[in-house]
Amino acid sequence: MRLAVIGAGMAGILSAIKLDEAGLTDFTVYEKADRLGGTWRENTYPGLACDVPSHLYSYSFALTPEWSHRFSPGPEIYGYFEKVAKDHDVVRYMRFGDEVTECTYDDGRWRLRTASGHTDVVDVVIAATGVLHHPRYPDITGMDTFAGAMFHSSRWDHSVSIEGARVGIIGTGSTAVQIVSAITTDVAHLTLFQRTAQWVMPQENPAYTDEEQASFRSHPEHLATLHTNLAEAFGIFANAVVDSHSPEIKMIEDACRANLEDNVRDPELREALRPTYRAACKRLIISPNFYDAIQLPNAELVTERIERIEPGGVRTADGRLHELDVLVLATGFKADAFMRPMRVAGRSGLTLEQAWAPRPEAYLSISIPDFPNFFMLNGPNGPVGNFSLIEVAELQFDYILQLIDQIRSGACREVSATRDATDALEAERTEAAPNTVWVTGCRSWYLDDRGIPAVWPWSFERFRTVMRQPELASFELR
Ligand code: NAP
């Protein structure tokens, strides 16, 4: 059996390790960039970190005593993935600098074509292409006239010095908050353009002491316990967001409100920073020091609507020009793109664009009807945003491997979800959506074009249970 994995980020590295372990060694991991790392390669902005604790945001089979902080910085996370891939000797499977542009199902096999013209024919495709990958640029008049440096947060231009510069940031998501917290002390002036205020959950980020790290090294079993305990604690949050009446969500709301009221001194600024929707409706911001940073004398919160961008800076609706040397677009990602713009055509030439009109869907976020032997990790409508995506990908991979085993054992040649199972799950998912906190009155990247969260709306235990073993009746095995 020959396989192709698309993407060498967290889920692609995982796939390579697990395929190799399973003895499925005839595969290539296609990566369009020149090195592995996915989101941790692409995002290099100052303050980059992960708001899932590091000992949880680790592969279960590659726990490490070396994490420096509870929430370790981005470069350290990148280094972790690089090391794990090297330690498991899977870099040799990776083909860098070549983007898969086409995947066509023909005569029982997938035909791949890359940007360089390279072709491959495989039995199984695993798309590990990530979720928050394609930058969403705002559509603001005059963007191309700005005379300073302007870039998206995930395309940080390190050749531009921000030291002593007048820096503007558009957006108030997790990314913007991390950047503001990291750079305000270095820049001459920081302007944060806020369209919507955010609730901020206070969370300390202590460093692990040498003694703690030494103890992890000499007792690796403690790492496993820590991983399990953190998963349990995180599970409380994951379960709270899918039940907007839960006492846990109330606790989160109270903690965010107290954070705002106790830590923002100026009443006018406090009200400008106070959201008008419930906490965790948008992806909850976790930060120990955002309020400190935005209250520094050289920081300014601008809530006036952006009118246009001019050579000298950003002009707001009140007529004021906010003069800037650098403008950072922390405006988020196209969360519904997944492996697109790759052209994927399944049975009878059905394209992904057709199958995903009007919106992406997949059975358990893994398999699409009429796209046999094509599997996704962290595909549409999965538990994104409320858990560690590493555990999600590990559970999904084990499930996919069981489907691949159906082919390996000769039970069938083709596996894809049935239309009925996909429709039934979608109906159930849509019905569960009103219970979640994501529909309590805010705009966010979780919501699809109908305002339904494109997310797993149930508990994480339920996800774990469902992922244990495929229900073969939900699949068409040919
Ligand atoms: P985001 O949460 O989608 O936030 C985008 C921000 O840009 C929002 O504040 C949005 O305002 C604003 N915006 C977009 N277009 C605009 C326009 N035309 N004019 C003015 N404002 C505009 O993006 P993100 O901060 O990059 O985060 C995306 C996700 O990545 C997060 O939710 C999280 O899941 C993940 N992430 C995680 C971490 C972590 O620590 N684990 C760190 C960074 C990112 P509105 O709110 O009004 O729409």
Do residues 344 and 103 touch, judged by C-beta distance below 8 A?
A: yes
Q: Give me ligand 1 centre to Cα 203, in Å.
A: 19
- Ligand 1 nearest atom to the CA of residue 138, by list position: 18
Q: Are the C-beta atoms of residues 227 and 372 closer than 8 Å to each other?
A: no
Alpha carbon dihedral 317, 322, 328, 329, in 10-degree steps, equals 0
User: 199 C-alpha vs ligand 1 centroid, how far in Å?
Assistant: 13
Best residue among 177, 283, 437 to mutate for probing ligand 1, ranked by most atoms within 8 Å of CB: 283
SS3 assignment for 221-233: HHHHHHHHHHHHH
Question: Tokens at residue 446, please?
Answer: 């979780």
Could you identify the atom of ligand 1 that is nearest to the CA of residue 172? 9
Q: For residue 140, give the ligand 1 atom closest to its CA.
A: 18
Q: Say if residues 303 and 102 touch (Cβ distance below 8 Å).
A: no
Q: If you take atom 17 of ligand 1, which residue's CA is the nearest one?
A: 138
Report the pocket of ligand 1 as residue ranges, CB < 6 Å.
Answer: 49-51, 132, 138, 140, 153, 170-176, 178, 195-196, 283, 306, 330-333, 385, 443, 445
Ligand 1 centroid to Cα of residue 442, in Å, is 13
Q: Which residues contact 122 (CB under 8 A, 6 or more apart)?
A: 2, 3, 4, 27, 109, 110, 112
Closest atom of ligand 1 relative to the 329 alpha carbon: 7
Provide φ and ψ at 179, rounded to 5°: -65, -50
Q: Ligand 1 center to residue 61 CA distance, Å? A: 31
Q: Which single residue is written with the structure tokens 């990776």?
A: 94
Give me the residues paired with residue 351 across strands: 345
Predicted confidence pLDDT, tens digits, the chain (478 residues):
999 999 999 999 999 999 999 999 999 999 999 999 999 999 999 999 998 999 999 999 999 999 999 999 999 999 999 999 999 999 999 999 999 999 999 999 999 999 999 999 999 999 999 999 999 999 999 999 999 999 999 999 999 999 999 999 999 999 999 999 999 999 999 999 999 999 999 999 999 999 999 999 999 999 999 999 999 988 888 899 999 999 999 999 999 999 999 999 999 999 999 999 999 999 999 999 999 999 999 999 999 999 999 999 999 999 999 999 999 999 999 999 999 999 999 999 999 999 999 999 999 999 999 999 999 999 999 988 678 999 999 999 999 999 999 999 999 999 999 999 999 999 999 999 999 999 999 999 999 999 999 999 999 999 999 999 999 999 999 9
Task: Determine the pLDDT at residue 431.
Answer: 97
Give me ligand 1 centre to Cα 48, in Å: 14
Backbone angles phi, psi at 105, to 5 degrees: -90, 120
Residue-wise pLDDT for 63-93, tens only, equals 999 999 999 999 999 999 999 999 999 999 9
Q: Could you tell me the distance, in angstroms and rounded to a whole number, from the CA of residue 342 to the centre of ligand 1?
A: 24
Q: Give 34 Cα–ligand 1 centroid separation in angstroms.
A: 26
Q: Atom 43 of ligand 1 has which residue's CA nearest to it?
A: 175
Pocket test for ligand 1, best of 174, 309, 322, 444 (most atoms within 8 A of CB): 174
Residue-wise DSSP of 160-206: S--TT-EEEEE--SHHHHHHHHHHTTTSSEEEEE-SS---EE----P
CA atoms within 13 A on the CB side of 437: 27
Cα dist from 164 to 65, 170, 279, 441, whole Å:
38, 19, 35, 39
Q: What's the gap in Å between 174 CA and the centre of ligand 1?
A: 6
Q: How far is the CA of 408 from the centre of ligand 1 (A)?
A: 42
The secondary structure element, H or E, covering residue 424 is helix 419-432
DSSP code string of 376-418: ESS-TTSS-SSS-HHHHHHHHHHHHHHHHHHHHTTS-S-EEE-
* Pairwise CA distance, residues 348 & 244, whole Å: 43
Distance CA 128, CA 378 (A): 7
> Among the atoms of ligand 1, which is closest to the Cα of residue 331?
7
Could you check whether the bond before residue 297 is cis, i.e. omega within 30 degrees of 0?
A: no
Nearest to residue 69, comparing CAs of 233, 174, 203?
203
Question: Atom 10 (ligand 1): residue with closest C-alpha?
Answer: 171
